Amino acid sequence: MKQKMNMGSVIGGIFLTAVIFFNIYLIIVKSSLVANLLSVLAIGLLLIIVIPFWVLLIKHNFKS
């Protein structure tokens, strides 16, 4: 059970990281002002979620 949850959280983290990189890619390729503002907001929100998530994941892995 514990292993399954950990694996799911890793997949979730990879997915969120991929979304961030996709947003960066859109900024570079599209580079329209509206897309930039939306992407910056999206990246900001994702970083607020992703950074604590990775910190928790790393701490959890060091404990076990």
CB 47 within 8 A of CB 20: yes
Question: Which of 19, 6, 21 lies closest to 53 in space, CA to CA?
Answer: 6
- According to the model, what pLDDT value does residue 31 have? 65
Percent of the chain with pLDDT over 90: 0
> Does pTM surpass 0.85?
no
pLDDT in tens, 38-58: 777 887 887 888 788 878 878
Number of Cβ within 10 Å of residue 39's Cβ equals: 19
